[in-house]
Every structure is written in C-alpha cells, then in structure tokens.
C-alpha cells in the first residue's frame, strides 16, 4: 500500500505540473499579445499627437497673418 501511495501522488503531481506549465505558456502568449497591442496603440497615439501639433502650428501661422 505504501508503494502505491507515493506512486499515485507522483502521478498526480506530474499531471498537475503539466497542466500548470501549459497554462503558463498560454498566459505568456496572451500577455505578449496584449503588450504588442498596447505598444501599437501607443505608437499610433504618438503619431496622432504629432499630427495635431503640426496642425495647431499651421492654424497659429494662419491666424497671425
């Protein structure tokens, strides 16, 4: 009975570790995807801010004339 007890616990741990490793991989992929998406939004936001500033400068030049 003792021999089977440690073996069963070892099998359970192995299965649990395998599922946890799979979950970690899924989380890493998900996190990287969200990170890439956030960086794309940040870059797009920076581009829009630069365009807005150039438009504001042009409007100021027009209003000075």
pLDDT digits (tens, 9 = 90+) for 16-62: 999 999 999 999 999 999 999 999 999 999 999 999 999 999 999 99
SS3 1: coil
Q: Looking at 24-64, which runs of residues are DSSP E strands?
A: none
Is the pLDDT confidence value at 1 over 60? no
Model confidence, pTM = 0.64
* Apex 64 CA angle, 62 and 65, nearest 5: 70
Give the per-residue pLDDT at 4.
Answer: 79
Whole-angstrom Cα distance, residue 14 to residue 20?
10
* Apex 58 CA angle, 49 and 43, nearest 5: 15
């Amino acid at each position: 009975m003792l021999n089977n007890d440690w073996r069963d616990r070892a099998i359970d741990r192995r299965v649990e570790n395998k599922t946890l490793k799979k979950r970690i991989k899924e989380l890493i992929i998900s996190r990287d995807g969200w990170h890439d998406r956030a960086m794309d939004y940040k870059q797009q936001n920076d581009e829009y801010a630069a365009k807005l500033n150039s438009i504001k400068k042009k409007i100021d030049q027009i209003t000075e004339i």
